Amino acid sequence: QVHLQESGPGLAKPSETLSLTCTVSGDSISSSIFSWDWIRQPPGKGLEWIGKLYSSGTTYHNPSLKSRVTISVDTSQNQFSLKLSSVTAADTAVYYCARVPGGGEFGMDVWGQGTTVTVS
Amino acid sequence: DIQLTQSPSSVSASVGDRVTITCRASQGISSWLAWYQQKPGKAPRLLIYAASTLQSGVPSRFSGSGSSTDFTLTISSLRPEDFATYYCQQANTLPWTFGQGTKVEMK
């Protein structure tokens, strides 16, 4: 049974860099049949897709976040990470990681429980 | 970016009711659409992918249909555990996008 767990500081100061990690268990993050995504949800609002990590190591992030996003992988720890720079109060949200089988046609089938980040 | 517009934004319904939620895409996305259910304080749960395929373990009262720009999620007979917020999501074109959500509330 695959399990994803987000971790990281729950509080960040404005202008700093937010760093989060998603630890994957029960599956290999290097598997070629999955990509791994970050999604966030501001308080009381909808879901916003942040970006993804392909098994090749290639990443893609939402242009709406400009160049503030860095997604990386640590295969030795079976983890992938999100860094979001120059944070503001607008980045306050619950951050989720999720597994994506195939090219996205099968949806995001496994999600972490989410971690709350407050920028203040 | 592809915009997804859900309607209604909220719906009041009773147990046993049939509920239909629509999702309209700003451009054609073939069948690259998924539906998720989210309850307060919880992560979203995948219900349907490829517009109409039920995710394993999801009750058969949930169904999806549509292609290109118009999609629907139907709950054939609402159960108490179905009161939640539902989101559509497209995976046809990066960046992936979500609809704004539809809250199914108890009448």
Query: How does the average pLDDT of chain B come out, rounded?
Result: 98
Tokens of B19: 């509920």
Taking residue B75's Cβ as centre, other Cβ atoms within 10 Å add up to 21
**Taking CB atoms and an 8 Å limit, are A107 and B48 in contact across chains?**
yes
State the pLDDT at residue A16.
Answer: 97
State the pLDDT at residue B90.
Answer: 98
Please tell me the distance from the alpha carbon of residue A8 to that of residue B40, in angstroms, as a whole number.
22
Is A105 within 8 Å of chain B by CB? yes
**Taking CB atoms and an 8 Å limit, are B44 and A63 in contact across chains?**
no
Q: Is the pLDDT of residue A32 over 90?
A: no
Give rounded-to-5 percent helix, strand, coil for chain A: 5, 50, 45
Alpha carbon of B5 to those of B10, B64, B69: distances in Å? 13, 16, 10
**Taking CB atoms and an 8 Å limit, are A106 and B49 in contact across chains?**
yes
Q: Which of A108, A109, A110, A113 is the mutation pick for testing B, counting most B CBs within 10 A? A: A108
Is A113 within 8 Å of chain B by CB? yes
Q: Which of B67, B94, B103 is the mutation pick for testing A, counting most A CBs within 10 A? A: B94
Is omega for the bond preceding B8 within 30 degrees of 0, making it cis? yes
Q: For B47-76, write each residue's pLDDT tens digit.
A: 999 999 999 999 999 999 999 999 999 999
Q: For A71-105, write each residue's pLDDT tens digit.
A: 999 999 999 999 999 999 999 999 999 999 998 99
